[in-house]
Amino acid sequence: MKNPLSPGATAKRLRHPGPRTLAIDIGGTGLKAVILDGQGRPLGDRVRVPTPADRPPSVVVRALRELVAPLGAFDRISVGFPGVIRDGVVRTAPNFASPRWRGFDLAGALARVLKRPVRALNDAEVQGLAVIAGKGVELVITLGTGVGSALFFDGALMPHLELSQHPIHGGKTYDEYLGDRARKRLGTRRWNRRVRRVLGILEIVVNYDRLHLGGGNAARIDFPLGRRARIVDNSAGLLGGIALWKSAPGARPGTALAPHASDLLHQQDPAAVGTRGRPR
């Protein structure tokens, strides 16, 4: 599958109606951003810099401001973050060393420095918004620096469970058991055996209709997946950003979704939205 965010894929600026969304993906190893048109299509190439993961939130916010400066104008911002996010505030940040992340108003801080309304959500949930079919029980698992998860029912986002921090085997959490450090230590072959074992457990526990596997390490899976599972492109972590603005005013982001990212047309006046995505 061709990556719609690959260099040169969108070098020619497109003209489409609708608000422009700055989509930001805060990862454990990389900060990524792209501007999307009203239909979720990139209006330029993705930009990326390494994540200063051992630094406090102020350093990451400053790095994001510098990262997006060359991208051009945008009307609103969506952010995916590897941890629990509620009302734009970080509750957990397992991939970041600084204790200052806990309770940090990420959406508010970005709104202040970038001067646009912001909506923020867990990064696996944002990725899920781009890939779900909107029917039945759909589980999203991301395999990268750590393990992300999101659960949807008939297109509606369910309350977030921080699966990455749950013990799975021998006292190890999902992050410790399947994260990138474990893969590098074990080797990809042994890591795949672990992935296969965990996916079998999740199939029984969740009883999903569809499993979507994303993240940078999903492409390393070397065993056949069942007919209800598929690997999705890692660009979905950014393309799902348009869906954060698809929900009705006052609803939790991620509800009432269109079936696919290409259908996520949402006309909304940014002036009618507060700095954290709530109606004024």
Residues 209 and 133: beta-carbon distance below 8 Å:
no
- Tell me the β-bridge partners of 76: 21
Q: Is the pTM of this model over 0.85?
A: no
- Topology classification of domain 1-280: Nucleotidyltransferase; domain 5 (3.30.420)
Q: What is the pLDDT of residue 17?
A: 65
pLDDT per residue over 205-214, tens digit each?
Answer: 999 999 999 9
Q: Which one, of 255, 8, 254, lies nearest residue 127 by Cα?
A: 254
Q: What pLDDT is stored for residue 234 in this prediction?
A: 80
Angle at alpha carbon of residue 203, lines to 199 and 204, rounded to 5° = 125
- Find tokens 């990862």 and name the residue: 27
* 41-57 pLDDT, tens digit each: 899 899 999 998 788 99
| Backbone torsions φ then ψ of 202, nearest 5 degrees | -65, -35
> For 192-239, what is each residue's pLDDT tens digit?
999 999 999 999 999 999 999 999 999 999 999 989 999 998 888 888
What per-residue confidence (pLDDT) applies to 5?
52
Predicted local confidence at residue 263, as pLDDT? 34
> What pLDDT shows up at residue 67?
97
**pLDDT at residue 87 in the model:** 93
The predicted pLDDT at position 273 comes to 31
Low-confidence ranges of the chain (pLDDT < 50): 1-2, 6-14, 248-251, 254-280
**3-state DSSP of the chain:** CCCCCCCCCCCCCCCCCCCCEEEEEECCCEEEEEEECCCCCECCCCEEEECCCCCCHHHHHHHHHHHHHHHCCCCEEEEEECCCEECCEECCCCCCCCHHHCCCEHHHHHHHHHCCCEEEEEHHHHHHHHHCCCCCEEEEEEECCCEEEEEEECCEECCCCCHHHCEEECCEEHHHHHCHHHHHHHCHHHHHHHHHHHHHHHHHHHCCCEEEEECCCHHHCCCCCCCCEEECCCCHHHHHHHHHHCCCCCCCCCCCCCCCHHHCCCCCCHHHECCCCCEC
